[in-house]
Amino acid sequence: TRSLEPPPERAAGAMAATKGRTQMEVGVDGVAVITVCNPPVNSLSVDVLLSLRENYGEALRRNDVKAIVVTGKGGKFSGGFDITSFGGVQGGKIEQPKVGYISIDILTDTLEAATKPLVAAIDGLALGGGLEVAMACHARISTPTAQLGLPELQLGIIPGFGGTQRLPRLVELTKSLEMMLLSKPIKGEEAHQLGLVDSLLSSDDLVHTARRWALDICELKRPWIKSLYKTDKLEPLGEAREILKFARAQARRQAANLEHPLVCIDAIEEGIVSGPRAGLWKVFNSTCGLLFSDTCKNLLHVFFSQRATSKVPGATDLGLTPRKITKVAILGGGLMGSGIATAMILSNYPVLLKESRVRKGKMTEERYEKALSLVTGVLDYERFKDVDLVIEAVIENVKLKQQIFADLEKYCHSHCVLATNTSTIDLNLIGEKTKSKDRIVGAHFFSPAHVMRLLEIVRTQHTSPQVVVDLLDVGNKIKKTPIVVGNCTGFAVNRMFFPYTQSALLFVDLGMDVYKIDRACTKFGMPMGPFRLADLVGFGVAVATGMQYLENFQERVYKSMLIPLMMEDKRTGEASRKGFYKYEDKRKATPDPEIMEYIEKSRSMAGVKPDTELLKLSEKDIVSMVFFLVINEACRVLDEGIAVKASDLDIASIFGMGFPPYRGGIMFWADFIGAKYIHDKLEEWAKRYGDFFKPCSYLAERAAKGIPLTRFPSSASASGRLRL
Ligand code: NAI
């Protein structure tokens, strides 16, 4: 118990010594406590690491220090290596890392090899480099809720401070592979069961117990474990090799275009086969290459762009504080409404769910009850008077939505935020019958709404900045990545990805194989090709969206008859078990030779002959033809001010459409290819296949002047250009 412990108060004259970003305090018990102080998450910048090394060296030299405890200030051990040391996004350019990587590896080595025992006291989080420092200590004490993990692979690099060697030796190979390859942290509780953590305690007792633990090691009452040389958890070589073989196959399948997961597995294997020093050496040799790779550059861009989405001119720069949203109401408990309700209740928002189906008898009582167990179901507006946010997700029908917003204005209080989840309808049209146009905003979720990260917040010229700030706050609280965009058909995401299916439909009429196009896109890194996506969304929605586009962007719509022909035979996508693929085995999509009949009809109706040149295209060329059109539309979205900055479209493409993050997002990738190349290709195809491919003026201007597409805006300020 505590009373038996030596009092941890300071020895006379042993005041806290602050060296750079760590602080050392030596107690009368002879324990030096080194605290990392680098708010907000005690990230390990080069300064912090140098100061840690300095304080640590002093603790080793001092005769009055018997043992050492490392901890973090403010309830967080460390969020990991300071990512800003890798460089930042400046004018769309990523600076390459400035860090002397080897010095850090040596630091963890020094920590472990020390002559005085060292214990990590972990609260809050120990991620990346933070966990690697903790693993180099001789014991770890943690709170049950602390997050421990090595998420480096998310940034295109691998754990560089010994984590590849120490983690498998502490938690066994399979678990360590899962933690590293999936960048998946675990809680203190699980870490304790696995042996990564030696004891669990509440925050209040953490440092106190860690001091005692360190002294116990000193007095040989507890083992002095150097995890780099632990072997008891390692599987026999043959078994380990099998596990690694399986991991390699899985990494190749899940991320075929990525090299760094394989480099990570190689380093782990080297450590197991030839010893941890050889493993570390392998990490060191590959680290520089990974740090300078396009993958790392792209993933860093995504990291910084995600943060930048919260900076919205004309809203977040006005010094507004988000209002408290306590109660949320959702209208419509269908596919989207129930997903949105789930996202809300998972973040502890009480939800009122208003449905109409029970009355209509379309939804079974049982299904409705299930939904009700999560939320409070209502059939009228009676309880809407104290609701702070309404999200309407009823069927896509203008008249119904107009009526609903007029009703909401009557029943809700005057500050209630009135949001719609419409995917195509102009917000001004929806709000036509209300006076509260300043409270109307789009909250466009993506299906399935409780899973997909993106939330497109759509503002009109009337939406008040306060409402935007409120919804941004809710979006963050329900763990979404919100981007704020202007009002137009399809908003930013659906609009820029409309050509994804359009161009594919044209190529099929011109003779290309449906499955070849899908394969090319998935090999590029998309979760599904345009045809598999159309099956998932359903042809009904695809046609309705097409009609909206036809009304607004006539010259850019390819009027293929393929989908309408299939619909005539009730072939409407995955829901009907038949679309471009057949779905005999629940969700498994299998190519279906029957579609040839429809394709041939569609081709003859289009009056086109197969283009032999097109048939010779490689998968890479097919990807270009599909995505250059997406880029063209994304450029228009930027030029019209629908998006505030190019990096928002990168985030939107990744979190809304599954564009591969390791390519940096649609616009970042476009600049990697080069505006001029894209422009010239589109011009060439426009001459051959028609205006459908014509490059827009934004792209043409940038291509001619050699200006990157992501450098935006070119002439006016972002807020000045923003079209609402
Ligand atoms: P859904 O048909 O699955 O659900 C609509 C629900 O609204 C039904 O349960 C219906 O009974 C209910 N409803 C109809 N009238 C109502 C009323 N007066 N009061 C209360 N409930 C009423 O449709 P889904 O797919 O959930 O779409 C809803 C909205 O979300 C649409 O505006 C759609 O454009 C939009 N959206 C759909 C996406 C998708 O992938 N399905 C993605 C993003 C937005």
What is the share, in percent, of the chain residues with pLDDT greater than 70?
A: 90
Ligand 1 pocket test: pick from 330, 335, 399, 401 the residue with the most ligand atoms within 8 Å of its Cβ. Answer: 335
Ligand 1 pocket, residue 334 CB under 6 Å = yes
> Sorting pLDDT into bands at 50, 70 and 90, what band is 373?
low
CB 153 within 8 A of CB 293: no
Q: Is the pLDDT of residue 309 over 80?
A: yes
7: confidence class by pLDDT, cuts 50, 70, 90: very low
What token pair was written down for 320? 């507004």
Ligand 1 site, residue 544, Cβ cutoff 6 A: no
Closest listed residue to residue 565, CA positions, set 596, 614, 601 = 601
Place of tokens 């997406």: 630
Whether residue 401 has its Cβ less than 6 Å from ligand 1: no
Which of 408, 581, 367, 611 lies closest to 509 in space, CA to CA? Answer: 611
Q: Ligand 1 pocket: which of 330, 382, 395 to mutate (most atoms <8 Å of CB)?
A: 395
Euclidean distance between CA atoms 626 and 521, whole angstroms: 9
Write out pLDDT tens, residues 138-160.
999 999 999 999 999 999 999 99
Tell me the CA–centroid distance for residue 557 and ligand 1, in Å.
26
Q: How does strand 440-445 pair with strand 454-459?
A: antiparallel
Among 267, 266, 123, CA closest to 206: 123
Residue owning tokens 């010094």: 319
Our answer on whether the CB atom of 466 is closer than 6 Å to any ligand 1 atom is: no
Q: Which DSSP helix (H) or strand (E) runs through 582?
A: strand 581-582
Q: Give the pLDDT confidence score for residue 721 in this predicted structure.
A: 44
| Cα–Cα dist 703/482, whole Å | 30
Q: Does the structure show a pLDDT above 80 at 712?
A: no
66 Cα–ligand 1 center, Å: 66
Statement: residue 104 has pLDDT above 80: no
Phi, psi of 577 (to 5 degrees): 70, 0
**How are the residues of the chain apportioned to helix, strand and coil, as percentages rounded to the nearest 5?**
50, 15, 35
Which ligand 1 atom lies nearest to the CA of residue 336? Answer: 26
Question: What single-letter DSSP state applies at residue 118?
Answer: E
Residue of the CA atom closest to atom 8 of ligand 1:
334
DSSP label at residue 11: P
Q: What separation in Å is there between the alpha carbon of 95 and the centre of ligand 1?
A: 45
What local confidence, expressed as pLDDT, does residue 370 receive? 54
Say if residue 108's pLDDT is above 90.
Answer: no
What are the catalytic residues?
132, 152
Cβ contacts of 385 within 8 Å, gap of 6 or more: 411, 412, 413
Q: How far is the CA of 581 from the centre of ligand 1 (A)?
A: 26
pLDDT > 90: percent of the chain: 70
Of 168, 191, 193, 169, give the one whose Cα is nearest residue 181: 168
pLDDT of residue 542: 83
Q: How far is the CA of 336 from the centre of ligand 1 (A)?
A: 6
Whether 120 has a pLDDT exceeding 90, the answer reads yes
Q: What pLDDT digit, counting tens, does each position of 155-209 carry?
A: 999 999 899 999 999 999 999 999 999 999 999 999 999 999 999 999 899 999 9
302 touches 651 (CB < 8 A)? yes
- The band of 12, judged by pLDDT with boundaries at 50, 70 and 90, is very low
CA-357 nearest atom, ligand 1: 11
Over residues 359-386, the mean pLDDT reads 67
β-strand partners of 71: 35
Mean of pLDDT over the chain: 88
Atom of ligand 1 nearest to the CA of 422: 32
Exposed, middle or buried by CB within 10 Å (0-12, 13-18, 19+), for 691?
A: exposed
Question: What is residue 380's predicted lDDT score, i.e. its pLDDT?
Answer: 82
Quick check: CB of 447 below 6 Å from ligand 1? yes
**Residue 220 CA to ligand 1 centre (angstroms):** 66
Res 112: pLDDT: 83
At residue 383, the pLDDT reads: 87
Q: Is the pLDDT of residue 283 over 60?
A: yes
**Quick one: which of 400, 472, 464, 406 has its CA closest to 434?**
406
Q: Are strands 125-127 and 93-94 parallel, antiparallel or unpaired?
A: unpaired
Summarize the confidence of residues 497-524 as an average pLDDT. Answer: 94
Where residue 378 falls among pLDDT bands split at 50, 70, 90? confident
Check pocket membership of 357 for ligand 1, CB cut-off 6 A.
Answer: yes
Residue 101 corresponds to which tokens in the numbers above? 């990587």
Distance (Å) from CA 358 to ligand 1 centroid? 15
| C-alpha 422: how far from chain center | 23
pLDDT at residue number 107: 66
One-letter identity of residue 723: R
Q: Residue 165 carries which DSSP code?
A: H
- Summarize the confidence of residues 640-648 as an average pLDDT: 93
Higher pLDDT, 348 or 455: 455
Contact call for residues 208 and 173 (beta carbons, < 8 A):
no
The separation between the first and the last C-alpha atoms of the chain, rounded to the nearest angstrom, is 64
Encode pLDDT of 34-47 as tens digits: 999 999 999 998 88
Q: What is the pLDDT of residue 532?
A: 95
Q: What is the ipTM of this complex?
A: 0.98
Q: Is 128 in the pocket of ligand 1 (CB under 6 A)?
A: no
CB of residue 449 inside a 6 A radius of ligand 1 = no
Cβ 145 vs Cβ 125: under 8 Å: no
pLDDT at 101: 45
Best residue among 423, 426, 451 to mutate for probing ligand 1's pocket (most ligand atoms within 8 Å of CB) is: 423
- What's the pLDDT score for residue 722? 47
User: Is the torsion defined by CA of 113, 117, 118, 121 positive or negative?
Assistant: positive
Please indicate whether residue 356, judged by its CB atom, sits closer than 6 Å to ligand 1: yes
**What predicted TM-score, i.e. pTM, was given to this entire model?**
0.88
443 lines ligand 1 (CB under 6 A): no
Q: Are 571 and 532 in contact (CB under 8 A)?
A: no
For ligand 1, atom 17: residue with the closest CA: 356
User: Ligand 1 mean position to 460 CA, how many Å?
Assistant: 22
Q: Is the CB of 402 under 6 A from ligand 1?
A: no
Whole-number pLDDT of residue 552: 83
Q: Which atom of ligand 1 is nearest to the CA of 401?
A: 18
Instruction: Evaluate: CB of 426 within 6 angstroms of ligand 1.
Output: no
Q: How far is the CA of 396 from the centre of ligand 1 (A)?
A: 6
Q: Identify the band that residue 137 occupies on the pLDDT scale cut at 50, 70 and 90.
A: very high
Quickly state the pLDDT bin for 287 (edges 50, 70, 90): confident
| CA 449 to centroid of ligand 1, rounded, Å | 12
Atom of ligand 1 nearest to the CA of 400: 18
Whether residue 724 has pLDDT greater than 80: no
Residue 417: other Cβ atoms inside 10 A:
26
3-state secondary structure of 141: strand
Q: Tell which one of 394, 457, 655 to mutate to probe ligand 1, the residue whose CB is within 8 A of the most ligand atoms.
A: 394
**Residue 423 in contact with ligand 1 by CB distance below 6 A:** yes
Residue 622's pLDDT band, with cuts at 50, 70 and 90, is: very high
Under DSSP, is residue 114 helix (H, G, I), strand (E, B) or coil? coil
- Pocket of ligand 1 contains residue 422 by CB under 6 Å: yes
Instruction: Detail the DSSP E strand segments found in 355-424.
Output: 376-378, 389-392, 417-420
Mean pLDDT of 235-262: 94
CA neighbours closer than 13 Å in the CB half-sphere of residue 429 = 13
pLDDT band for 270, please (50, 70, 90 cuts).
Answer: very high
